[in-house]
């Protein structure tokens, strides 16, 4: 032991730099810089005029087009006539055999469930009718 020092003489440890706090500070500065530069950029948008669908000008219904509507209760309507869901397959087969170019418009009322509408689309697909449209406007039940 050294008389001038009250502590025992040991090997001196070299000073070291802790890197974990340094990484934290660097990430904080990086995030601050990114957020600050993003707030400086003014977002410029180009106005786009999207087309709007217009109803056809003639008011007479197309005789070759069948409207198949599904209601909230799960019942179906064939051109406004109430039918059971089980009748759809037979009506589609008959319609396809009578019409050279069968076209079906599948619609739903404002509270119709998704499942019965998919069932109606499946029946149209099983019947082999390829020209199918889905109406996106809301109709009252049984109206077309």
Is residue 137 very low, low, confident or very high in pLDDT (cuts 50, 70, 90)? Answer: confident
Which domains, from first to last, does the chain contain? 65-134 (3.30.420.270)
Angstrom CA distances, 130 to 19, 75, 99, 114, 127, stand at 66, 23, 13, 21, 9
Is residue 28 very low, low, confident or very high in pLDDT (cuts 50, 70, 90)? Answer: very high
Q: What is the pLDDT of residues 108-123, one digit of tens each?
A: 877 777 788 888 888 8
Phi, psi of 138 (to 5 degrees): -85, 135
Q: Hey, what are 79's tokens? A: 């051109």
Cα–Cα dist 33/54, whole Å: 49
Averaged over 55-82, what is the pLDDT? 77
pTM: 0.53
Neighbours of 110 (CB within 10 A): 11
Which is more confident, 89 or 74? 89
């Amino acid at each position: 032991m050294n008389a001038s020092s009250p502590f025992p003489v040991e090997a001196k440890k070299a000073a070291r730099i802790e890197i974990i706090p340094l990484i934290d500070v660097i990430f904080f500065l990086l995030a601050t810089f990114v957020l600050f530069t993003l707030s400086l950029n003014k977002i410029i948008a180009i106005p786009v005029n999207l087309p709007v669908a217009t109803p056809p000008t003639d008011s007479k219904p197309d005789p070759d087009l069948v409207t198949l509507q599904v209601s909230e209760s799960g019942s179906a309507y064939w051109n406004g006539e109430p039918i059971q869901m089980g009748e759809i397959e037979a009506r589609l087969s008959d319609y396809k055999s009578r019409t050279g170019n069968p076209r079906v418009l599948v619609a739903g009322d404002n509270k119709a469930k998704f499942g019965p509408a998919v069932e109606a689309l499946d029946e149209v697909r099983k019947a082999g009718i390829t020209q199918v449209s889905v109406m996106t406007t809301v109709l009252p039940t049984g109206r077309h």
